[in-house]
Amino acid sequence: MLGEYITYGGAVVNNARFDAKKYDAMTQVYTKEYFMSEADAMIMAHPEIDFSVVELDVNRLTMINDIYGLGEGDRLLKYMAETLNMVLEEVEYSIYARVHADLFVFLCPYSKQNLNSYISAIEKRATEFSSNLNFELLISFGVYIVTNRDLSISSMCERANLALKSVKGNYVNHVGIFDKKMHDKAVKEVEITSKMNAALMNGEFEVYFQPKHNLDGEKLIGAEALVRWNSPDNYTPSDFIHIFEENGFIMKLDYYVWEETCKFISSAQSVGVNVPPISVNVSRVDLYNPDLVNILMGLVKKYAIAPNLLKLEFTESAYSESEQLMLSVMEEFHQHGLEVDMDDFGSGYSSLNMLKDVPIDGLKIDLRFLDKSNDERKSNRILAAVIHMAKWLGIPAIVEGVETPEQVSHLKNLGCTMVQGFYFAKPMPAKQFIQYIKDREHNIEPVVSKPFDEEVLDPDKWWEYVISDCEAVLEMHDCYLLCDRGEGEELEIILASDSFYEVFGTTRERMYNLRCNITDFFMERDKERVMASLDSLKDYHSIGQEIYRISCPLGTFWIHVKARLLEKNEEHGVYFCIVDNITQEILTAMKGI
């Protein structure tokens, strides 16, 4: 028996009588069950050998099935089984198996050099398969170096799987090694899972409320219901929420939060407190509950509250995973008067499709999703673009994670009107939130979505002026430019019409790829005049106009530029310009002379 798997490592060779308990029907390598028993025996029989357990996962097998068909996916699985046989068949004291679907496992004597060579050989074979498909194939590996022989082989595989999960989908690091941090995390997850049901029954979970504010008048416009676990272990939401999402307990916890929120609204109103709309989170797994809408409406009716006082927040990832389901559920919500906000916008991969297709009532942007960027200027532009894109679409946007006065000031300048974060208030328990509302009794305002053109424009909100300017001038001028002047003589395009590129004899693509400075097109004698003219615009929205000559691939032209200052600080100036090609008029005048 031992000699069989030492020699063949798990492959079926000339086996006339197929044993389904021992061999996997598709790939003809060992089954998970047989691997477990034989690997355990091998480790016990050879205490002198250092072993490692390695799990490997074929990423995006489902996509291969979708694109190339199930037959190609099956061929890939057989190919991976053959690969393991080729790599390990000469390795003494090794055994491998197919665990399920696209997950394989192997046991082999451990040395760093040998393990790296096995992984490299497997990856090389995967690359060869990819080249035939014209599809990048990514293999992730999870390694448990056997340091505790008292563990069962099942526990060793679980540790290898934890290491695998830590790198799955990572295109930079695709080999995970189980370490103490992973062990501590696994222990903590087991601990949390064992306590969660009792904690819910004993009332250890408590709903907190974090206020939302309108920046213009710093008015209270709403709140978000969040859950805290009052435990001696001081668990934070980041410790337990993802675990509850994986094991399904989040459905019970969500229902608890929904009911406590409805109960709070009803209780506050019964004593005359003017409660603003309160948002509750709806997890991805909740979407699959066919009775979801009835459950929420049942709570609304049970506590006799207006539906528009209970807002729902879905994450963007929930849409990306279940587009059609999300759309049908949202339609039902709207039919019952429930509003839906999209949470964590920008953190997923389907943002623009989501804005196009999903009838959301609000957009929540987490300021922290830009924190990791090293380019603050680029981050600010992304944030500005998202805020104003939402406004153009008539979708109220709220920025969360606001913590400093500088962020508040910056958001005001970008045209943001609604925020949530520690700067105004941290999450607080129900009694404290009641008092918070009472203290602001005359400074509470319901969330109302106004059409963009009805808003009163603040002079500092330059992007909004651009929109109004564009709408005003497009009938008369189709050549316009929004530009940013940095240090020196650089003018960078932020927004420009097609006609602008035509006048300058170039295209958007060429301008973008060459990263051309606009002033490079001006005749040398006019470059200083361009900069001096812009510098002369000292006051916000002051206007200046000049005639310049430009040289471009189409020739030399005279242009009339009317520039308007929209924003200016020590480092940058933002200008909106109307450009007219007046070459023909100039030539006609010169002929007349």
Using alpha carbons, select from 56, 151, 152, 49 the residue that is nearest to residue 97.
56
The Cα 134–Cα 284 span in angstroms is 33
Pair (154, 6) in one structural domain:
yes
Residue 327 has pLDDT above 90, yes or no: no
Confidence of residue 309 (pLDDT cuts 50, 70, 90): very high
The Cα 492–Cα 130 span in angstroms is 42
What pLDDT digit, counting tens, does each position of 138-181 carry?
899 999 999 999 999 999 999 999 999 989 877 788 999 999 89
Q: What pLDDT does residue 450 have? A: 31
Whether 187 maps to a domain, the answer reads no
**Residue 412: count of CB within 10 angstroms of its CB:** 16
Sequence-separated (6 or more) residues with CB below 8 Å from residue 363: 341, 342, 345, 355, 386, 390, 395, 396, 397, 398
Phi and psi at residue 142, to the nearest 5°:
-125, 125
The Cα 27–Cα 76 span in angstroms is 10
Using alpha carbons, select from 223, 291, 278 the residue that is nearest to residue 251.
291
Pair (372, 521) in one structural domain:
no
The Cα 391–Cα 463 span in angstroms is 11
Pair (512, 443) in one structural domain:
no
Q: What pLDDT does residue 199 have? A: 96
Q: What pLDDT does residue 339 have? A: 92
Whether 186 maps to a domain, the answer reads no
CB distance 295 to 337 below 8 Å: no
Sequence-separated (6 or more) residues with CB below 8 Å from residue 230: 204, 205, 206
Whether 184 maps to a domain, the answer reads no
Residue 202 DSSP one-character state: T
What pLDDT digit, counting tens, does each position of 380-395 carry?
777 877 887 787 778 8
CB distance 241 to 187 below 8 Å: no
Q: What pLDDT does residue 325 have? A: 81
The Cα 261–Cα 145 span in angstroms is 48
Q: What is the arithmetic mean of pLDDT over 4-30?
A: 65
Q: What is the arithmetic mean of pLDDT over 98-113?
A: 95
CATH number reported for the structural domain that contains residue 584 in this entry: 3.30.450.20
Pair (471, 442) in one structural domain:
no
Among 152, 178, 204, the domain boundary falls at: 178
Q: What pLDDT does residue 568 have? A: 76
Phi and psi at residue 132, to the nearest 5°:
-75, -30
What pLDDT digit, counting tens, does each position of 431-471 carry?
999 999 998 876 665 433 333 222 322 333 444 555 444 44
HSE (CB half, 13 Å, CA atoms) of 483?
25
Residue 13 has pLDDT above 90, yes or no: no
SS3 37: helix
What pLDDT digit, counting tens, does each position of 485-517 carry?
877 667 888 777 778 888 888 887 677 666 677
User: How many domains in the chain?
Assistant: 3
Residue 443 DSSP one-character state: S
Whether 185 maps to a domain, the answer reads no
Whether 332 maps to a domain, the answer reads yes
Residue 536 has pLDDT above 80, yes or no: yes
Confidence of residue 268 (pLDDT cuts 50, 70, 90): very high
Q: What is the arithmetic mean of pLDDT over 522-549?
A: 85
Q: Which pair of structure tokens corresponds to residue 378? A: 């680029």
Residue 14 has pLDDT above 70, yes or no: no
Whether 205 maps to a domain, the answer reads yes
Confidence of residue 5 (pLDDT cuts 50, 70, 90): very low
Q: Which pair of structure tokens corresponds to residue 139? A: 């293999």
Pair (261, 397) in one structural domain:
yes
Residue 54 has pLDDT above 80, yes or no: yes
Q: What pLDDT does residue 33 have? A: 95
Pair (101, 73) in one structural domain:
yes
Among 400, 424, 454, the domain boundary falls at: 454
pLDDT over 90 for what percent of the chain?
44
SS3 210: strand
Length of the chain: 593
Most confident of 185-189, 374-378, 414-418: 185-189
Phi and psi at residue 579, to the nearest 5°:
-120, 130
Q: Which pair of structure tokens corresponds to residue 7? A: 């020699």
Using alpha carbons, select from 158, 143, 237 the residue that is nearest to residue 190.
158
Q: What is the arithmetic mean of pLDDT over 234-241?
A: 93
Confidence of residue 300 (pLDDT cuts 50, 70, 90): very high
Q: What pLDDT does residue 353 have? A: 65
**Which pTM was predicted?**
0.65
Q: What pLDDT does residue 455 have? A: 31
CB distance 245 to 285 below 8 Å: yes
Confidence of residue 349 (pLDDT cuts 50, 70, 90): low
Q: What is the arithmetic mean of pLDDT over 333-348?
A: 84
- Ranges of beta strands (E only) in 360-515 are 362-366, 397-400, 418-420, 428-429, 480-485, 491-496
Pair (355, 415) in one structural domain:
yes
Q: Which amino acid is at 531?
A: M
Mean pLDDT of the chain: 83
Q: What pLDDT does residue 476 have? A: 53
Tell me the sheet residues that pair with 576. 482, 564
Sheet of strand 95-100, all strands in order from the earlier edge strand to the far edge: 30-31, 95-100, 103-109, 51-58, 139-145, 175-177
Q: What pLDDT does residue 285 have? A: 86
Tell me the sheet residues that pair with 108. 52
Sequence-separated (6 or more) residues with CB below 8 Å from residue 358: 319, 326, 327, 330, 342
- Ranges of beta strands (E only) in 316-372 are 340-345, 362-366
Whether 188 maps to a domain, the answer reads no
The Cα 357–Cα 350 span in angstroms is 11
Pair (498, 365) in one structural domain:
no
Q: What is the arithmetic mean of pLDDT over 53-70?
A: 88
CATH number reported for the structural domain that contains residue 336 in this entry: 3.20.20.450
Pair (77, 214) in one structural domain:
no
Residue 12 has pLDDT above 70, yes or no: no
Residue 3 has pLDDT above 70, yes or no: no
Confidence of residue 346 (pLDDT cuts 50, 70, 90): low
Q: What is the arithmetic mean of pLDDT over 31-48?
A: 95
CATH number reported for the structural domain that contains residue 81 in this entry: 3.30.70.270
Among 422, 454, 486, the domain boundary falls at: 454
Tell me the sheet residues that pair with 574. 484, 567
Provide the residue range defining the domain that includes 578: 462-592
Pair (117, 224) in one structural domain:
no
Pair (374, 475) in one structural domain:
no
Pair (54, 145) in one structural domain:
yes
Q: Give the least confident one: 91-100, 448-457, 541-550.
A: 448-457
